[in-house]
Structure 1
Amino acid sequence: MTRLKDIAKACKSKNAGPFHVTLDIMFDDATLFERVRRTGTIRAELIASLYGVPLDQVQFTEYPPALAWKATIPRRIPSGAIGDTDIYGAQQHAPLLDIDVAI
């Protein structure tokens, strides 16, 4: 097993408006991207599980021309609201880093 943080070019997050966060997983090697893609590891169900959101609230896109996956999920607390600890949504990618991939 290999952790995603060791093979992906980037795993990042950002606001998608005040009520959602977008998560991006990107590769810079087409062969490696395809190997990971064939495992079926990165999918909407995994994102829902990692972030504790219902599957029907995960907007998930696999985009092979960019060697990437994108998922948009609802924020637990709106950006800038009382209790929000990440106003830009830039620190929400951490759970992606430890995804195990059997390549």
Structure 2
Amino acid sequence: MSKLADLVPKVRSKNAGPFWLTVDVFCGAPDVFARVSSGLDTARVADAFRIDPTSLKRFDMPDLNVVKFSLPRPAIQGTIFDRDMHGASFAQIIGEIDI
């Protein structure tokens, strides 16, 4: 098994508005996309983010070799409880998942 971040060229997370975050897994090549797409279980991703799996939206885009996840922010952006206004730290969480 390998960590996701070791298999792909880039994992990026960012804002998708004040209530949502998006995490993009750029696989680079079709063979890597196939491995990531089949090996990255949505329930495991939800567990890593500590959210209900029904709250996590997943988009597999084989034409772009990208797997994308959208999830509700743990705190509304810019509030006193928001620890990451740009949503950049969420890429590290998913990058640690073994595939």
- Shared fold (TM-score, shorter chain, > 0.5): yes
Could you say what the CA RMSD is over the residues aligned between the two structures, in angstroms? 1.3
Deviations 1:25-70 (A, max 9, x none): 1111222222333xx3213212211111111111111111111111
- Report SS of the residue matched to 1:56: helix
Q: TM-score, normalised by structure 1?
A: 0.87
CA separation in 1, counterparts of 2:72 and 2:47?
A: 13
Aligned partner of residue 32 in structure 1, secondary structure = helix
Residue equivalent to 1:58? 56
Q: Give the alignment's TM-score, normalised by structure 2.
A: 0.90
Work out the CA distance in 2 between the residues paired with 1:56 and 1:33: 23
Amino acid at match of 2:98: D
Q: Residue 98 of structure 1 aligns with which residue?
A: 96
C-alpha separation between the residues in 2 aligned to 1:36 and 1:94? 16
Q: Which secondary structure state, in structure 1, belongs to the residue aligned with residue 14 of structure 2?
A: strand
Count of residue pairs brought into register by the alignment: 99
Letter in 2 for 1:66: L
How many Å apart are 1:97 and its aligned residue? Answer: 1.3
Separation (CA, whole Å) in 1 of partners of 2:30 and 2:22: 22
CA contact (8 A) 2:27 2:36 kept: no
Identity %: 28
Alignment of 1:1-103 (within 5 A): 1-37=1-37, 40-101=38-99
Please state whether the residue corresponding to 1:65 is helix, strand or coil.
coil
The one-letter code of the counterpart of 2:39 is T
